[in-house]
Structure 1
């Protein structure tokens, strides 16, 4: 009798275990991209689940401004999702250092990405990578093709041609030559200084030399972009000093401005709002034939919660995110957010195709202030906002701005002391 009961008990346990194994595993993704919810629900998740039966995926975003606080609270409480959408550099590095993100170097799919692509989600020495790169944004200039044709302006490739184009629009008087304000400050640095600057400091060569202490912010290649920005003010239209970021977007999409200093994230919104054909040109070089450099800035990645109850399922999803299938879905559903995998992706949006094509023509780099150099006080990224505004307004000379920034960086960053 005991033997029969034992047999029944073992059989019952086996049935329970088999049933549990047969049930779907559900993994949850934390993200700040709440504007992407429909994309994940309608395209990304169904594509993954169609090929990975047994794994269900939930996308649970927070409001962008609240994401860091909400995520940290969940991580501390042990209630965070299995997968963590990663902002670039220090915010995600802090999560890894706190033990919240898992090193992913043993994930074979990480070989699908270049060192530059992975740099936003690595330790400073590059010994550990903790997020799969998803997409970058590229800086340059978006322009109104109809305005260029009407005024007879050629698309510029050099700085001399660029300022000649601005002067032609100013003389014509029917268009604001370039739509950008300085009220919100960050645009002046992001779409100004770090847009044109890489052509001066030679992209990664200069950026890494600054981190190493081999170059200084008072060197000519770091000061010169401020001198160029100082020329912009004459072409930004009346009242640019009080003009906000949404104001600048509206002026361009309403057809009142000819050129917009841009990040590629604008494409989807501009496509929906502008009723004219748009084109794009990369940051003009100083002289014809110079090597060109673009800010191809790593923007979003995804990592694994170190305390996930579903590590195998989470890694399967991360490997798929590194695949060409995901890259094609993401790149075409969100034109202007460019996949970072080494496998080329065929994009359908004409403006996105034009901009991503610069990768084959120019050397890629990332924003100069984002890795390591903005950890201390004063914060170099925030100081660069103010310096870029001051350059455009002409309230400080380029040399004064370089000296002030260098003094601030050297006050806390040992390689620059």
Structure 2
């Protein structure tokens, strides 16, 4: 009798263990951010698993340049992870339209985000959202505070003051005024045109006017940023035409350049490389008293593979990603990547704090070429890279650049009022 009781207890224990094991789920996360693997492993995953011991996470990133191709192959083969890290706009929209990403419009956590925050991962009409917004990046200028103190310079608030600062640095001769090259082209547009442009086309107002056909890329407010960029060349140092993105990063972090046209994604790296104190200022406005606008660009989101076998566990994770707990953790683990949720987050890094503070002072918008306008040929995003680089080099006039871009866009894009 005792043996039978013991055997029954052992069998019951085994069955309970089997049930517990059967309930434990492992979710695999696909991502292109292989540079933050340790942050996921050491901070994000332990925090989630501590609160949800029945759900395990496996973060499996790909190389950034290979991510789209690798992900599409996995999705087509049925071998992709349960959770898909989403690039903004068209790449992810194509996945949703192809039935690869689940509709998350009814996810409880989505109520924490504004329509602008969700715009990078919503259908054109806004009726469905398929990725939870994780973070944006903000554009502006990072500067060497030691160099500014040495030369008696202050952060410029207007375009005239900006060029006065550049002139003073150039006249002194101890520093390259500004570190940016045109070899790779994308920086000229991303940290040049898209950085300063919103102050001219008035952010979302101008972007929406371009989408609706009420504005043209040859209009004064869209050409004006090129007129400013045309003046940058004389401040970028000798040989800027052949200077690559890593070259520019090195020039600044080694203390050889005073100002760096920047995206906030540089904060983490620059903190570890620069041995001088850094500051940041938003893109100077054309005239004193003008309302200011910043590019606060939706950068990274995360969605659910429509073919996952664990949709409920995946939703549990995404509700956590939409929470203030995750926003605070992510913002401080990766300073310079800013939460998009409407709940205020306390950011510890002072340089990242400075970028984030501009949201309280200025109107936020996203890069003008990213939503809808780069779906055709010629691709407006890539054409803007080229035009910005050509204008800075003096190889194309601002008005010619605007006319060329508008002609290319009009050849395939029919505005939808």
TM-score bin, normalised by smaller chain: over 0.9
Aligned position for 1:42: 42
Aligned counterparts of 1:288 and 1:227: Cα–Cα separation in 2 = 19
CA-to-aligned-CA distance 1:246-299 (integer Å, 9 cap, x gap):
110000001010000000000111111100000000000011111100000000
Counterpart residue number, 2:366: 366
2:4 aligned residue: none
The within-5 A match list for 1:371-386 is 371-386=371-386
Q: Distance in 1 between matches of 2:204 and 2:76?
A: 36
The residue that corresponds to 2:98 in the other structure is: 98
Gaps of at least 5 residues in structure 2 are: 1-7
CA distance in 2, matches of 1:122, 1:338: 19
The 2-side partners of 1:400 and 1:26 are apart by 55
Instruction: After TM superposition, give the deviation of residue 22 of structure 1 in Å.
Output: 5.4
In the other structure, the counterpart of 1:355 is 355
Corresponding residue number in structure 2 for 1:24: 24
After TM superposition, give the deviation of residue 23 of structure 1 in Å. Answer: 3.6
State the Cα deviation string for residues 63-119 of structure 1 (Å, max 9, x = none). 111111111111111111110000000000000000000010110110101111100
Q: CA deviation at 1:416?
A: 8.8
The 5 Å alignment of 1:55-70 reads 55-70=55-70
How far apart are 1:19 and its partner, in Å? 1.1
TM-score by length of 2: 0.95
User: Cα distance, 1:16 vs. partner?
Assistant: 7.7
Q: CA RMSD in A?
A: 1.7
Cα deviation, 1:297-327, whole Å, max 9, x if unaligned, reads 0000000000100001000000000001001
Residues 2-48 of structure 1 show CA distances to partners (whole Å, capped at 9, x for unaligned) of: xxxxxx9xx99x95897167541111100011111110011000000
Name the counterpart of 2:311.
Answer: 311
- Give 2:118's aligned residue: 118
**Equivalent-residue separation in structure 2 for 1:75 and 1:334 (angstroms):** 28
Report matched runs for 1:247-286 at 5 Å.
247-286=247-286
Q: Deviations over 1:397-416 (max 9, x none)?
A: 11111111110000000129
Q: Structure 1: which 5+ runs fail to align?
A: 1-7
Cα distance in structure 2, aligned partners of 1:136 and 1:147: 29
Cα distance in 1 between the residues matched to 2:81 and 2:148: 49
2:141 paired with 1:134: no
Alignment of 1:403-414 (within 5 A): 403-414=403-414
Matched residue, 1:4: none
| Equivalent in the alignment of 1:85 | 85
Displacement of 1:213 in angstroms is: 0.8
After TM superposition, the structure 1 = structure 2 runs for residues 181-220 of structure 1, keeping only pairs within 5 Å, are 181-220=181-220
2:335 maps to what in 1?
335
User: Does the aligned pair in 2 maintain the 1:216–1:416 contact within 8 Å?
Assistant: no
- Tell me if the contact between 1:409 and 1:416 (Cα under 8 Å) persists in the aligned partners: no
Relative to the length of structure 1, the TM-score reads 0.95
8 Å CA contact retained: 1:138, 1:355: yes
Cα contact 1:189–1:388 (8 A) shared by 2: yes
1:361-402 CA distances to partner (integer Å, 9 max, x unpaired)? 000000000000000000000000111011111112111111
Conserved in 2, the CA contact under 8 Å of 1:22 and 1:54?
no
Q: Matched residues in 2 for 1:103 and 1:167: separation? A: 52
CA distance in 2, matches of 1:44, 1:139: 26
**Contact 1:28/1:82 (<8 A) preserved:** yes
Output the CA distance in 2 between the equivalents of 1:243 and 1:18. 60
Is this contact kept in 2: 1:373–1:380, CA < 8 A?
yes
Deviating beyond 2 angstroms after TM superposition, the runs of 4 or more aligned structure 1 residues are 14-18, 20-23
Residue 234 of structure 2 aligns to a residue whose secondary structure is helix
Partners in 1 of 2:21 and 2:183 — Cα distance? 57
Match of 1:178 in 2: 178
Aligned length: 407
Return the alpha-carbon distance in structure 2 between the equivalents of residues 284 and 177 of structure 1: 16
Q: Secondary structure at the match of 1:414?
A: coil
